Amino acid sequence: MHRIHRELQHLAEWLAILEGKSSRPRFVVSSMFLEQCFRQLTTDEREQFFFITGAEVDGVGVLDQKVEFAHERRTVMGVTGNQSAAHRMLIRLEQFRHRRLGHFHSHPGKGADATHPSGTDEAFQRRLETAGDIPRSPRSSAATASCGSSV
């Protein structure tokens, strides 16, 4: 019963979006850009992470640019960004009046479990949303993707 309720809520959210009555963030992304991101996210067995930005047109975020920065550490169990590099990235985005619209992050592994965000990922997303850096989404992380791989 809970699953049916959840699916009906999801359907209602999509109908509101299609009717233009939703305050939920909206995004446009090309399949070619997604494929390029997927290839980079699954290049090796270590976790990968980068932010996504792009223009915002009539309230719709155009996800078309990766914003990469140096990492302190990348392992099969996690990825940690370099704070100085992340700060420089934020300054550059501000110079062009861009904001972080989302982020892509990989979980190397096989099966469905590799495609779900971890508790650490969800806490990070909440911090970004609370700070106003990433648009909020009622159902799941807005413009945030986790992908598993079988490398």
Provide the pairing of β-strand 60-63 with 26-29: parallel
Order across the sheet with 144-149: list the strands: 65-67, 49-53, 102-108, 144-149
The C-alpha atoms of residue 101 and residue 115 are separated, in whole angstroms, by 20
Instruction: Please write the tens of the pLDDT for every residue from 106-120.
Output: 988 788 777 788 888
Q: Residue 145 pLDDT > 60, yes or no?
A: no
CATH number belonging to the domain at 25-149, selected among 3.40.50.180, 3.40.50.2300, 3.90.470.10, 3.40.140.10:
3.40.140.10
pTM: 0.71
Confidence of residue 17 (pLDDT cuts 50, 70, 90): low
Confidence grade of residue 150 (pLDDT, cut at 50, 70, 90): very low
Residue 142: pLDDT above 80?
A: no
